[in-house]
Amino acid sequence: MLGGRRVGKSTILAGVMETLGNSAALSSHFICEDSTDYKAYSNFSIKKKYRALTSMLDTQKPGTIFMTRGMGDSKIQKYNISIRLSDKPGRLMVDFYDVPGEFTNPQKVEFQSEMLPLISDCDVFIVGIDTPYLMECAESVNNAHNRITDLEVSLQNIIVKGKTDLKMVMLVPLKCEKWLECGDIDKVIEKVKERYGVLLKTLSAYPSMMVSILPIATVGGIRYKQMYPAMIVKRDGIYTGYSCTPEVGSEVVVGDGGRYKIQSPYSVGYDPEAKVDGVTIPNSWYELIPGVGYAPKNCEQTALHILRFLIVKTMLKQQENEKASDGFFGYIRGAMNIFLNWWNGIDYDAFKNLVAELQKEGKIKDSGDGIELYHICNEWKEVEL
């Protein structure tokens, strides 16, 4: 999972967990569990993070503005997510790596030491896009916050080891409730194609690469309201942790939505940390959408697209193995195929049949709500689910 800092990468995963196990249409099939060892990280599970976000639906009042930004992560976090079929033994273990935005910068030491090995190991790349910055900010601000140039360079390091070594990149616009709500999601997709044009073209030229655009609403009832310069409340001239709007009169709104009168010993100053590569980044403020509440949209599609990808990749590998399976050499190739071993102890056929069934029923969406398969590789077309 790649993208800028705090664009909502971890939340994509939380949304998947919540909806794959709970959505009425799918819950009878899947059980999704998080077996991440949080002690090694921030101790703040994706579930807790997600609760903190969705609880704003209850704690915020209509007509007020607030921020949804919580703590960022400073190292790569590995989430161990398992997906089970409710009526079959064996769990499909999927490891997700949530990469801090700044690691995508090829100039960083961490890029060489931590990102490069990951990029060559991973099969699926989820690029989170902070939609308000994409839609409302100057190109330089959007580029810095969403790390577009860094992504263009870093994703050139994806390694395809052969025709059947399928890879997939999903661009996932987040926090796009505002545009989904008023039927303007196509404008978001248009802008994605414009601003991520170089990345999309480079990726599409790769062999065995699937590229898709998949906007999701992780909450539903919270929409983007406006950008304000990033200000912080100071006490006796020292920065507190409270982000706020610029002063109007002597009043500010702090991140939690409260209104405060600024008077001695308090004052307000520009947030010195609101910079990416020297570019000053404003804060995005949100409001409730009256009467909507918790209404995530298409979160489960992220997982369904990944599952379908894994099945197709496996089918391609199998075909390759069958072709090469005459003689001793073929046997060796088959036995050494790590990817196929990956399904050990899991009822692969049951997964495959279910994905094929969901595909037939139109439950894996490739269009509508802005969803688009931007580039379909030839290998993908060779396989029929």
Ligand X SMILES: Nc1nc2c(ncn2[C@@H]2O[C@H](COP(=O)(O)OP(=O)(O)O)[C@@H](O)[C@H]2O)c(=O)[nH]1
- Site membership for Mg ion, residue 218 (CB under 5 A): no
Which of 2, 6, 60, 137 touches ligand X by CB under 6 A? 6
Which of 4, 66, 92, 98 touches Mg ion by CB under 5 A? 98
Cα gap 241→237, rounded to integer Å: 13
At a CB cut-off of 8 Å and minimum separation 6, what does 69 contact?
A: 6, 243, 255, 283, 284
Find the shortest distance in angstroms from Cβ 96 to ligand X.
11
Which of 142, 143, 164, 218 touches ligand X by CB under 6 A? 218
Q: How far is CA 6 from CA 11, 48, 237, 375, in A?
A: 9, 16, 27, 27
Q: Which of Mg ion, ligand X, none does 164 bind, CB closer than 5 to 8 A by kind? A: none
Which of 3, 4, 7, 10 touches Mg ion by CB under 5 A? 10
Q: Which of ligand X, Mg ion, none does 293 bind, CB closer than 5 to 8 A by kind? A: none
Site residues for ligand X, window 12-51 (CB under 6 A)? 49
Find the shortest distance in angstroms from Cβ 61 to ligand X.
16
The string over 286-307, giving b where at least 16 C-beta atoms fall within 10 Å of a residue's C-beta and e elsewhere, is bbbbeebeeebbbbbbbbbbbb
Q: Which of Mg ion, ligand X, none does 369 bind, CB closer than 5 to 8 A by kind? A: none
Cα gap 175→62, rounded to integer Å: 18
At a CB cut-off of 8 Å and minimum separation 6, what does 174 contact?
A: 7, 8, 11, 12, 128, 129, 130, 131, 215, 216, 218
Interface with Mg ion: number of residues (CB under 5 A):
4
Q: Is 62 helix (H, G, I), strand (E, B) or coil?
A: coil
Which of 21, 29, 128, 230 touches ligand X by CB under 6 A? 128
Q: Which of ligand X, Mg ion, none does 11 bind, CB closer than 5 to 8 A by kind? A: ligand X
Q: Which residues bind ligand X (CB under 6 A)?
A: 5-11, 49, 53, 68-70, 72, 98, 128, 174-175, 218-219, 222, 286
